[in-house]
Amino acid sequence: MKALYIVFLLLPIAVFGQKFVIKEKLNMEVLGTSNLHDWEMISHTGVGEATIILSNGKLKNIESLVFKLNTESLKSGKSTMDEICYKAMKTDKHKTISFVLKEVKSISNSDNKYKIIAAGNLTIAGTTKYQTLTVTADFSSKRIVFTGLHNIKMTDFNVKPPTALFGTIRTGDDLNIKFEVIYTDAESLALMNIPD
């Protein structure tokens, strides 16, 4: 009886990992500058998987997370601009941009809206750099919406800032990556007969 009582005491604080995957349209914006005007490239597709640690319906930790984006899914609305950027990012050899989580440094919660500081390997154009990101996560039992804004320099990833018109148009080295990515509970997808 005593052992059974202990089990019941532990049940409210049970902690478990739950698999989440990307199945919904996402929003990924790469925002840059040039000596002529600002520019942007946008993608709405990507793949990813995460194992989320939950306790009493709350997000406690992220055990693992992977995100991958086909670089050529980024579009500026101008084919010439796209081709110049794809060449700079060496998409003939390196097809994807990816992020692999390595460490969650902190998580704070307010009404199931979480501020997460996490670090991992960001790979662009075949070069991988360890990056720390600050992300907002809006969590429900079936989905997590991650949003954030992260600044990088192209040259940190061995990408030469693109130029056009014989060098008269020059892009800046700094890029802002703005994102909204939705991870959905894989078990709920299975119940709806949606393959993960």
Domains of the chain in sequence order: 21-191 (2.40.128.110)
For residues 28 and 155, what is the distance between their CA atoms, to the nearest angstrom?
20
Q: Tell me 2's DSSP state.
A: H
Lookup result for tokens 């949606």: 194
For residues 2 and 17, what is the distance between their CA atoms, to the nearest angstrom?
28
Distance in angstroms between the alpha carbons of the first and the last residue of the chain: 42
Q: Tell me 93's DSSP state.
A: T
* Sign of the CA dihedral running 69, 72, 77, 78: positive
Q: Tell me 160's DSSP state.
A: P
For residues 30 and 113, what is the distance between their CA atoms, to the nearest angstrom?
25
pTM, 2 dp: 0.85
**Side-chain half-sphere of 159: how many Cα atoms within 13 Å?**
30
The list of the chain residues with pLDDT below 70 reads 1-16, 165-168, 188-196
85 phi-psi bin (left φ>0, alpha ψ -120 to 50, beta other): alpha
Q: Give me the pLDDT at residue 3, please.
A: 52
Q: Tell me 34's DSSP state.
A: B
Q: Give me the pLDDT at residue 112, please.
A: 79
Q: Give me the pLDDT at residue 8, please.
A: 41
Q: Give me the pLDDT at residue 167, please.
A: 60
